[in-house]
Amino acid sequence: MKLMDNEVIETIVSDKITYREMLDDSKAGRIIEKIKCGSRVLVLKYGTDVGMKKEVQTYQQIGTLKLSIPSVIYCEQIDSLYLLVLEWIDGRYPDFQDNKDIQNYFYSLGRFAVETSFLNNNYFDFDTDELIHMTELKTLLQDQEELIKNHVGTFSYDMMQQLVAHKDNIFQCIMKIPKALDPGDISLHNAKIHGDSGKVVFFDFESAVIRPLSMFFEHFAEAYESIPSSETGILLSQQTFFQAWNTYAIIQISWYDFRQSITAAMLNYKAGNYIYWIRKIMTDKEHNETILWLKNDVQILEKLLLKLCDEEGDGCVKSD
């Protein structure tokens, strides 16, 4: 993608550029730069891809709110180009091996959720198509029963069948929780902790969408390095977020409902993963690693299903 001319940028920021550094040009339709203009240090993001479009649209919606986000200098579409100029945040990425960072990040995220929970307009409306994984997986299990059983075994197949049998429970548990703006891809890469104040600043909104709070945590049953990975860290992140929400929100939620809804969101996320990996088995000749992953993952699936159907709870009723 072609770099923007200095003259164009200087017109936008009303200042002379004294320093310009490429931060990321790895994606075909987007460029991220760091620039200095007088005493100001800024982030310049521009591109034509869907992620850039979503981010510009999101900042247009939330840029004037009192949120923990960078100051917005410029946020517009110019012909087919989406352009964003933000203040540079001096700080570091959170360390999710550190309990203090986990508490700081997820308490801040909980407050962010409260402040954006009213953004329920046409642009930000939650798309329930995100919850169609169960229907698609059910069809795939029916059409590819022999292939799946031959590759990953009857137990794995049966566990996935149990998953889709609970699709109504899963949907109900997810949807009973209030909605807010999920920045998208909750991880250590979408926020910085300010060096002086310790304030958490969120800045990456390429996948932002209004959806139930529990779906913020949908990927926390996966072995991703960019999120809290220990059981203690995962629980602490949820507790801290929950505390912040109930401290500042008008609509209170119970800890049980929140936890059950997170479990349901994790199950929905896993259904999406299974669709991807089953299709990979169908199309790739080399799929030994995929088969091993599926066999190992159904152990986690079994635990999540048991949590969803805890007979002592009042949130989800067992399916027939």
Look at strands 30-37 and 40-47 and give their pairing: antiparallel
Averaged pLDDT for residues 205-223: 90
pTM, 2 dp: 0.89
Residues 38-71 pLDDT 10s: 899 999 999 999 989 999 999 998 888 888 999 9
β-sheet with 200-202: strand ranges across: 91-92, 191-194, 200-202
Residue 148 neighbours by CB under 8 Å, 6+ apart: 141, 156, 157, 160, 278, 281
**Residue-level pLDDT at 120:** 63
pLDDT of residue 312: 39
Phi, psi of 236 (to 5 degrees): -65, -40
Residue with tokens 């790739």: 284
* Structural domains of the chain sorted by starting position, each given as residue range(s) with its CATH number in brackets: 6-88 (3.30.200.20), 99-308 (3.90.1200.10)
DSSP single-letter state for residue 98: S
- Residue 145 to residues 140, 281, 286, Cα–Cα distance (Å): 8, 13, 20
Residues paired with 40 in a beta bridge: 37
Rounded CA separation 309/319 (Å): 9
- Cβ pair 9, 44 in contact under 8 A: yes
Check pLDDT > 60 for residue 294. Answer: yes
The pLDDT assigned to 283 comes to: 85
Length of the chain: 320
The predicted structure's pLDDT at residue 155 = 93
181-199 residue pLDDT tens: 998 877 777 899 987 788 9
What local confidence, expressed as pLDDT, does residue 125 receive?
Answer: 59
Task: Give the CA-trace dihedral at 261, 270, 127, 104, to 10 degrees.
Answer: 60
CB 190 within 8 A of CB 87: no
* Amino acid at site 94: P
Tokens in use for 202? 């969120």
